[in-house]
């Protein structure tokens, strides 16, 4: 039996060439609308119109107010609460799921969930019997809703990406935070301080970026949101200590660490983190603490009325806008950091 080889060079008639103009559409949930506005401004687009409300029984509703057929739809929604818009963290998660589902049902070409703060990311393993792995469940929910891609920042553990079977773009604010401290030109010698041994690699990278040494705090957690500092590995005497972490929740670790570092001779103590959750009584703790300054980003909305004077908020809008542009254009995302995104 002889084989037949088709040597035709004409274009195949099995496909229909179509002139397709890609469209980028940006929408915002109610978790962090100001960040979405800032991203839209950087992109040079307007936020798409969408109706979002919570019914009297607590159920969430959404509807896109114009056609999104064939568009790449980017939905900006950190899964956090927002007192100004009246949504809780769980409201934000459900709202994001409904917005994804509505976009899929409206024939969007691609649906990308832009979740700078990925809620439940701390619950990435079983710490005790009969506990859920909540981060994995949230990942499955986003996939089940129909998200084609997830864009997030500084996950509590980089391995959370492994819970997804869709692409995850994991961005980091670490270079931005490091640049902030370089620009301060502090006269004291800098030392990057890891709040626990699990953050040593992150703090080591941060120390390289700011041109300082490395120190590591050792702590116990006798209960949830309770931190007890027992020791510091490294020299902090007479130096400016910069504690770095992915997030600040109740600020128990920061305040205890700052007090311990000052007792060990640190001249100044700064703290920086990507996500400023600031669950009560975090603000009161920071105001009464020996911390000289706290630097966070706007992945989670910060109430300007309660923001302490010694707190600085940096915006991640330019970074997210650039990432969204590259995703939309099918360009490299890792190129934004020169290919160096493995910080965890």
Q: What is the largest CA-CA distance in the chain?
A: 87
Q: Please report, in angstroms and rounded to a whole number, the separation of the first and last CA atoms in the chain.
A: 58
Percent over 70 (pLDDT), the chain: 91
Rounded to an integer, what distance in angstroms lies between the CA atom of residue 101 and that of residue 147? 8
pLDDT at 337: 80
What sign does the dihedral 189-215-272-160 (CA atoms) show? positive
Residues 6+ apart with CB under 8 A from 333: 169, 171, 323, 326, 327
Q: Is residue 286 predicted with pLDDT exceeding 80?
A: yes
The more confidently predicted of residues 336 and 323 is 323
Average the pLDDT over 302-311 and give the result.
Answer: 92
Q: What's the pLDDT tens digit per position in 35-80?
A: 999 999 999 999 999 999 999 999 999 999 999 999 999 999 999 9
Domain 174-314, CATH among 1.20.1440.230, 3.40.50.1370, 3.40.50.150, 3.40.50.2020? 3.40.50.2020
Q: Is residue 82 predicted with pLDDT exceeding 80?
A: yes
pLDDT at 21: 80
Q: What's the pLDDT tens digit per position in 131-161?
A: 999 999 999 999 999 999 999 999 998 889 9
The more confidently predicted of residues 82 and 222 is 82
Q: Is residue 17 predicted with pLDDT exceeding 80?
A: no
Average the pLDDT over 295-320 and give the result.
Answer: 95
pLDDT at 228: 75
By DSSP bridging, strand 72-76 and strand 24-28 are parallel
- Which CATH number applies to 24-172+318-337? 3.40.50.2020
Start-end of H helices in the chain: 33-43, 89-105, 134-145, 174-184, 200-210, 252-263, 282-287, 317-328
Average the pLDDT over 273-300 and give the result.
Answer: 96
What are the residue boundaries of the structural domains of the chain, listed by start? 24-172+318-337, 174-314
Average the pLDDT over 286-301 and give the result.
Answer: 96
Going by pLDDT thresholds of 50, 70 and 90, the confidence category of residue 344 is very low
Average pLDDT taken over every residue of the chain: 92
Q: Which residues are catalytic?
A: 219
Q: Is residue 191 predicted with pLDDT exceeding 90?
A: yes
Q: What's the pLDDT tens digit per position in 220-241?
A: 765 665 667 889 999 999 999 9
pLDDT at 8: 54
User: Which tokens in the block code for residue 201?
Assistant: 């690699």
Q: Please name every residue paired with 182 in a beta bridge, in sequence order, or none if there are none.
A: none
pLDDT at 18: 66
Rounded to an integer, what distance in angstroms lies between the CA atom of residue 43 and that of residue 114? 14
């Amino acid at each position: 039996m002889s084989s037949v080889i088709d040597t035709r060079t004409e274009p195949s008639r099995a496909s229909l060439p179509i002139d397709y103009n890609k469209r980028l559409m940006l929408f915002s949930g109610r978790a962090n609308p100001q960040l979405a506005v800032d991203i839209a401004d950087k992109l040079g687009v307007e936020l798409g119109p969408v109706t979002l409300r919570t019914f009297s029984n607590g159920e969430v509703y959404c509807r896109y107010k114009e056609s999104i057929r064939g568009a790449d739809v980017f939905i900006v929604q950190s899964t956090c609460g927002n007192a100004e818009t009246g949504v809780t963290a769980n409201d934000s998660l459900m709202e994001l799921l409904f917005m994804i589902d509505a976009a899929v049902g409206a024939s969007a070409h691609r649906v990308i969930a832009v979740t700078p703060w990925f809620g439940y990311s701390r619950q990435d393993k079983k710490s005790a019997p009969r506990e859920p792995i909540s981060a994995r469940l949230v990942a499955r929910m986003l996939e089940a809703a129909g998200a084609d891609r997830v864009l997030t920042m500084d996950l509590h553990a980089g391995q959370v990406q492994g819970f997804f079977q869709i692409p995850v773009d994991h961005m980091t604010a670490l270079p931005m935070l490091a640049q902030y401290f370089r620009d301060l030109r502090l006269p004291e010698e800098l030392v990057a301080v890891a709040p626990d041994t699990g953050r040593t690699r992150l703090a080591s990278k941060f120390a390289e970026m700011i041109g300082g040494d490395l120190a590591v705090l050792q702590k116990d957690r006798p209960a949830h949101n309770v931190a007890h500092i027992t020791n510091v590995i490294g020299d902090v005497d007479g130096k400016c200590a910069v504690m770095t972490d992915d997030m600040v929740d109740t600020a128990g670790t920061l305040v205890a660490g700052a007090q311990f570092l000052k007792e060990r001779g640190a001249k100044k103590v700064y703290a920086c983190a990507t996500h400023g959750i600031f669950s009560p009584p975090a603000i009161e703790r920071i105001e009464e603490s020996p911390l000289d300054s706290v630097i966070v980003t706007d992945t989670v909305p910060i109430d300007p009325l309660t923001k302490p004077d010694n707190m600085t908020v940096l915006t991640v809008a330019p970074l997210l806008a650039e990432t969204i542009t590259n995703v939309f254009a099918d360009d490299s995302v890792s190129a934004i950091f020169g290919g160096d995104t493995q910080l965890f």
